[in-house]
Amino acid sequence: MKLPERSARSPVDWFVSCAKGLEPILAEELKELGASEVSEAIAGVYVNGPVSLGLKMCLWSRVANRVIRLLGEYKVATADELYSALVALPWHQWVKPTQSIAIDFHGTNESLRNTQFSAQRVKDAIVDEMVDACGARPNVDRGKPDIRFNCHLRPQGLSVGIDYGDGSLHWRGYRARSGAAPLKETLAAAILLRAGWSGIAKEGGALVDPMCGTGTLLIEGAMMAADIAPALKRQRFGFERLPDFVPDQWRIMLSEAQKRASAGRSQLANLELRGYDADPKVIRSAEENIDAVGLSQVIRVSIKSLTKLTKPTHRPIATGLLVCNPPYGERLGENNALKYLYNQLGERARDQFEGWQMAVLAGDNGLSKAIGLRSHKQLQLFNGPLPVTLSLFDLTSDNNWRSLDSRQSQGEVQRALERPQQSEVTLSDGARMFLNRVRKNRRKLKPWLKRSGTTCYRLYDADMPEYAVAVDWYEGRLHVAEYQAPKHVDEAAALQRLDDVIHALCVEFDAAPADIALKQRRQQKGAAQYEKRDYTDKKIAVQEGPAKLLVNLTDYLDTGLFLDHRPLRLRIGAESKGKTFLNLFCYTGTASVHAALGGAKKTVSVDLSNTYLNWYKSNLALNGLSDAVHKAERADVMVWLEKHKTQYDLILLDPPSFSNSKKTQDSFDVLRDQEPLVRAAMRCLAPSGTLYFSNNRRGFKLSPTLTQLFAIEDISPSTLDPDFERNTKIHQCWRIRHKT
């Protein structure tokens, strides 16, 4: 290998690498930079051009990972062949003995299976040749070498080259901090290029990232719009220590880039670049990164949950790009919860950003589909080793958003078409009596429902002793729960009365028996044909005040939403602004969602059940709330309270009546254990804070000791809405404060 004797304009072969899937975007970019004979390969592009092109690609390419000046390709299969081929090359014409080197080796074959060993053999070849030629050898410096050689072993042979950038070009020099799974700057730039941001920016459009993390998409978007070279702040390049490097040529190139950046920055004042995130920590990191690149006067980031996302109103904006890299499975491990976050994103995009473009990078196609909007383009890409999907959306008025629970299966549609017509004439006397009571209750509740906007409520609660069921309405869906019948009740008679209930409801609501979720508290027999035994994990979203909450009407004894606690949840939401909230025995975290939406600056929710905590995370995602601010902790509440020292402004303590979980050493009885439980919870209550203690234990009596220790007020009547007026014993609730 002889040092080529060529002018600065002589053509040189280059391989410019990129993440898989970005090859077409990189090829187009390099053509605009002046590359000729461009041909795409796997994870990169081959080009031909002078040395000056190498400098230009290092400075201006937004998508390239590495710019490799190719020195040659060699057929090698074994370690000996590798050494023999490379030791014969004149390495001393590229490297001085006083310089340091590093070797990056990629690829394996049947013989060369260890890249570290292969890199060692390359180093041996270089050192041995230089000792023979110069009588001295260079040092090896893997951190900051003078010259970095790149070797890539492919089936067609070993390619050897010089890394002109001295490491990956995604490192722009502005990232002070990054998140758990940071978006590479090169991928961020490619997303913006593919989404048409350059054209949108020229038209004065806005750029909004609703889940901006540490601000990478916003920074890359601003640099693109301002014509700022991506590597302008990079401190080191590999070509600077090569023998054919011309410093004056590089100084001229840098000076031109600085002039273009200065002119471009003045144009940014006319653009809106906004970023939001629910996590204060990442917003602080974003601010540091934005400041490091000198764009803090242009890019504005603030703390805001997805559910409050709106179009910028600072000035009239006709168009723009909504772009984001939401969490995905590898980042949070909560795909079930994340689909609701993506659905919330789709809803906000449809409602607030009509006429805009949207680009979303998702972990898989399933999450992209959960957005609920029709994508006109999808690309399979990689963020480091993680496969991701980039989906592009045109937010026109005819791109109708669909919620997750609105997507009926073909089977559900067919069952609706085949629904048998129910007739009041065919009802038994008992069913007709039950029907009349249901109609009476509906008439009575109608004014309150209209006034309050309540969409999920109790319609019937064992009003007639012989029909011992609770009937709940969940936004068009019926849920019937049977109370445990006394042993003296005839089994056949109980089944007949349950049959009366089902058929009466079918008449009143024009439903089929299969449409009604039924929970029977008895051994299942053949006659119990309405019981749902399959576990589908099918959750539907319902509205309660400002909150969207997930319920499952079929799989569990409870639905995930205790309707009787509705007033208490709304009260907590109203009292939470600016406060810290602790939710003990949090169940599915519905009260925590209300607290978060009410403006709580921090919430902590504790429960021993993984099922409930994952459900809670789904509820958070459905409302566009961050689990970085609103934390879920899996623990035995009693054990957790013994160790916890932090104090909270507002606490909800809503324990079960009894528990003998296998996950704990001791059983729990709320009547027996109320004193140590309340005392422990009160230790976590701030001096001026409020604790709400509620339970559903029939016959529960509050300990006199607690009334002596704390200021306690029974607020049970005010925590029951009209749909529970007939069953005032369903729960008891106290407001507890420290005595002054």
**Is the confidence at residue 313, as pLDDT, over 80?**
no
DSSP character string of 404-459? GGG---HHHHHHHHTPPPP-GGGS-HHHHHHHHHHHHHHHHHHHHHHHH---EEEE
**Is the confidence at residue 531, as pLDDT, over 50?**
no
**Is the confidence at residue 413, as pLDDT, over 60?**
no
Q: Which amino acid is at 49?
A: G
Percentage of residues of the chain with pLDDT beyond 70: 91
Task: Give the pLDDT of residue 495.
Answer: 87
Tokens 């796997």 belong to residue: 42
Cα of first residue to Cα of last residue in the chain, in angstroms, is: 87
pLDDT by residue (tens digit) across 542-572? 999 999 999 999 988 899 999 999 999 999 9
Average pLDDT over every residue of 314-343: 76
Q: Which amino acid is at 74?
A: Y
Phi then psi for residue 297, to 5 deg, are -85, -5
Of 83, 146, 136, the C-alpha closest to 112 is: 83
Angle at Cα 636 formed by Cα 536 and Cα 703, nearest 5°? 115
The pLDDT-based confidence of 399 (bands split at 50, 70, 90) is confident
Task: Give the pLDDT of residue 430.
Answer: 92
Among the residue ranges 156-165, 366-375, 482-491, 496-505, the one predicted with the least confidence is 482-491
**Is the confidence at residue 376, as pLDDT, over 60?**
yes
Residues in the chain, how many? 740
Structural contact between residues 557 and 519, judged by C-beta atoms closer than 8 angstroms: yes
Structural tokens at position 333: 């491990």
Interatomic CA distance for residues 320 and 271, integer angstroms:
10
Task: Give the pLDDT of residue 334.
Answer: 55
Longest dimension (CA), the chain: 110
Task: Give the pLDDT of residue 374.
Answer: 93
Tokens 């200021």 belong to residue: 711
Instruction: Count CA within 13 A, CB hemisphere, residue 303.
Output: 15
pLDDT by residue (tens digit) across 136-185? 999 998 889 999 999 999 888 899 999 999 999 999 988 876 655 578 99
For residue 531, the 8-state DSSP code is B
Q: Residue 580 pairs with which residues in a beta bridge? A: 602
Task: Give the pLDDT of residue 532.
Answer: 41
**Is the confidence at residue 189, as pLDDT, over 80?**
yes
The pLDDT-based confidence of 1 (bands split at 50, 70, 90) is very low
Task: Give the pLDDT of residue 535.
Answer: 53
Task: Give the pLDDT of residue 526.
Answer: 38
**Is the confidence at residue 316, as pLDDT, over 50?**
yes
The pLDDT-based confidence of 436 (bands split at 50, 70, 90) is very high
Interatomic CA distance for residues 624 and 566, integer angstroms:
21
For residue 279, the 8-state DSSP code is -
Average pLDDT over every residue of 571-597: 97
Beta-strand relationship, 100-106 and 36-41:
unpaired
Task: Give the pLDDT of residue 409.
Answer: 42
Task: Give the pLDDT of residue 411.
Answer: 46
For residue 110, the 8-state DSSP code is S
The model carries a pTM of 0.82
Average pLDDT over every residue of 414-418: 42
Domains of the chain: 12-163 (3.30.2130.30), 185-230+263-406 (3.40.50.150), 413-519 (3.30.750.80), 540-738 (3.40.50.150)
**Is the confidence at residue 3, as pLDDT, over 60?**
no
Task: Give the pLDDT of residue 406.
Answer: 55
**CB neighbourhood size of 83 (10 A):** 16
Q: Find the DSSP H helices in 562-667.
A: 566-575, 590-597, 610-622, 637-643
Top pLDDT among 353 and 386 is at 353
Among the residue ranges 7-11, 259-263, 298-302, the one predicted with the least confidence is 7-11
The pLDDT-based confidence of 666 (bands split at 50, 70, 90) is confident
Task: Give the pLDDT of residue 14.
Answer: 95
